[in-house]
């Protein structure tokens, strides 16, 4: 149900009236703002506050617990990179697991890969799925692919019960580690990801911002170096509506056939993915470039 539209949540009024401002202890002292044209949905699920609004310049925006998850204008930069960085790094991915990603955008991108036979997806919050189908049809189109098996539940529990060695790739499209996604950043979760992957299988997880979260990134990198005996890499992309304008990914492979993430082996067959629209962001050059790190980050990440 739509909440009371006359009651303004703090994020709509506390910085500039009529604008949405994103504030969090995860980016203290700064608040990115978007001009609001119309609030389209306000609800409270069992897990989080859910808001959809129409912005003046970025199209519709999905907000969970006060934090922007996607905007129509720049979602391509995130969805395409979190998906094609792992899936273009291995030949013929067949079985893929998506954790989180309730908007369906990662599904839309996985579906471009003709080799994929089965996609499991575990999202904790059904309201995110429903709201996305209602307000973001070009993103939620991913749910229409017949290879998708959607499970509503906690990704941590899902992975604990997953069959050993069963996936070619796992994509963790999570929100920030404050709230329901907390455990998706912790060591036991990465251990169960490694267990669920086949030898030489790959994982790509949302891994926050180089400008804001080097401490979180350091922890993720050192956990991953212990757990994943193949390769361990950090990559990043530019997403203007994420805090600091960039977001990173942790890409790892399990012991087995070598995975050289920096040199994609697999291209996307555009003809098999026409119904999902053209790629807007990803290409082979930007794939390799995504692994080039600024010196301050390179030093820290390579020393772990
Ligand atoms: N795909 C998006 C984009 O374009 O930026 C952003 C993130 S997506 C909406 C993050 C999802 O992770 C949310 O729908 C949230 O409900 C889900 N999530 C959080 N914790 C989870 C958990 N423990 N298990 C499964 N899903 C979880």
Count of CB atoms within 10 A of residue 195's CB?
Answer: 16
Q: Which H/E stretch holds residue 101? A: none
Q: Ligand 1 centroid to 206 CA: how many Å?
A: 10
Contacts of 110 (CB under 8 A, 6+ apart): 83, 87, 96, 98, 116, 119, 142, 145, 171
Q: Ligand 1 centroid to 174 CA: how many Å?
A: 4
Residue-wise pLDDT tens digits, 233-288: 999 999 999 999 999 999 999 999 999 999 999 988 665 556 788 899 999 999 99
Catalytic positions: 173
Q: Please tell me the distance from the alpha carbon of residue 247 to that of residue 211, in angstroms, as a whole number.
A: 9
Cβ–Cβ < 8 Å for 268, 259:
no
Would you say the CB of residue 79 lies under 6 angstroms from ligand 1?
yes
Would you say the CB of residue 105 lies under 6 angstroms from ligand 1?
yes
Q: Ligand 1 centroid to 123 CA: how many Å?
A: 7
What is the pLDDT, as a whole number, of residue 276? 80
- Predicted-assembly ipTM surpassing the 0.90 threshold: yes
What is the pLDDT, as a whole number, of residue 304? 76
What is the pLDDT, as a whole number, of residue 71? 98
3-state helix, strand, coil in the chain (%, to 5): 35, 25, 40
Both tokens of residue 81?
């990179």
CA geometry: angle at 45 spanning 41 and 49, to 5°?
A: 60
> Which residue, judged by its Cα, is nearest atom 15 of ligand 1?
100
Q: Ligand 1 centroid to 121 CA: how many Å?
A: 11
Would you say the CB of residue 72 lies under 6 angstroms from ligand 1?
no
Cβ–Cβ < 8 Å for 102, 130:
no
What is the pLDDT, as a whole number, of residue 268? 84
Residue ranges in the chain modelled with pLDDT below 50: 1
Q: Please tell me the distance from the alpha carbon of residue 96 to that of residue 222, in angstroms, as a whole number.
A: 25
Q: Ligand 1 centroid to 150 CA: how many Å?
A: 13
Contacts of 67-73 with C-beta under 8 Å, sequence gap 24+, read: 67/22, 67/24, 67/175, 67/176, 68/22, 68/32, 68/34, 68/241, 68/242, 69/103, 69/175, 70/103, 70/105, 70/136, 70/139, 70/241, 71/34, 71/241, 72/136, 72/138, 72/139, 73/241
Would you say the CB of residue 65 lies under 6 angstroms from ligand 1?
no
> Which residue, judged by its Cα, is nearest atom 2 of ligand 1?
69
Nearest-atom index, ligand 1, CA of 129:
14
Q: What percent of the chain has pLDDT over 70?
A: 95
Cβ–Cβ < 8 Å for 89, 232:
no
> Which residue, judged by its Cα, is nearest atom 8 of ligand 1?
101
Q: Ligand 1 centroid to 183 CA: how many Å?
A: 12
Cβ–Cβ < 8 Å for 264, 89:
yes
> Which residue, judged by its Cα, is nearest atom 6 of ligand 1?
69
Would you say the CB of residue 70 lies under 6 angstroms from ligand 1?
yes
Distance of CA 215 to the CA centre of its chain: 19
> Which residue, judged by its Cα, is nearest atom 11 of ligand 1?
100
Q: Please tell me the distance from the alpha carbon of residue 5 to that of residue 263, in angstroms, as a whole number.
A: 49
Nearest-atom index, ligand 1, CA of 125:
16
Would you say the CB of residue 125 lies under 6 angstroms from ligand 1?
yes
What is the pLDDT, as a whole number, of residue 1? 44
Would you say the CB of residue 173 lies under 6 angstroms from ligand 1?
yes
Would you say the CB of residue 75 lies under 6 angstroms from ligand 1?
yes
């Amino acid at each position: 149900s739509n909440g009371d539209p006359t009651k303004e949540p703090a994020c709509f009024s506390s910085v500039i009236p009529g604008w949405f401002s994103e504030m969090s202890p995860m980016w203290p002292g700064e608040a990115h703002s978007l001009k609001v044209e119309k609030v389209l949905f306000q609800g409270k699920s069992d897990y989080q506050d859910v808001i959809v609004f129409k912005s003046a310049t970025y199209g519709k925006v999905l907000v969970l617990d006060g934090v922007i998850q996607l905007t129509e204008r720049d979602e391509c930069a995130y969805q395409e990179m979190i998906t094609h960085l792992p899936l273009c790094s291995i030949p013929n991915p067949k079985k893929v697991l998506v954790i989180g990603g309730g908007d369906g955008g990662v599904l839309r991108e996985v579906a471009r890969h003709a080799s994929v036979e089965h996609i499991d997806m575990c999202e904790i919050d059904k309201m995110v799925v429903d709201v996305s189908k209602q307000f973001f049809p070009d993103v939620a189109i991913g749910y229409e692919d017949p290879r998708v098996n959607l499970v509503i539940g906690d990704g941590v529990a899902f992975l604990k019960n997953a069959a050993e060695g069963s996936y070619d790739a796992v994509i963790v499209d999570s929100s920030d580690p404050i709230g329901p996604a907390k455990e998706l950043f912790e060591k036991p979760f990465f251990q169960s990801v490694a267990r669920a992957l086949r030898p030489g299988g790959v994982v790509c997880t949302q891994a926050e911002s180089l400008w804001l979260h080097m401490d979180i990134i350091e922890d993720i990198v050192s956990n991953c170096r212990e757990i994943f005996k193949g390769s361990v890499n950090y990559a990043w992309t530019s997403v203007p509506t994420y805090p600091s304008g960039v977001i990173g990914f942790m890409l790892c492979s399990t012991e087995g056939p070598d995975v050289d993430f920096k040199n994609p082996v697999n291209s996307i067959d555009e003809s098999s993915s026409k119904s999902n629209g053209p790629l807007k962001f990803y290409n082979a050059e930007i794939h390799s470039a995504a692994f080039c790190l600024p010196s301050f980050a390179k030093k820290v990440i390579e020393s772990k």
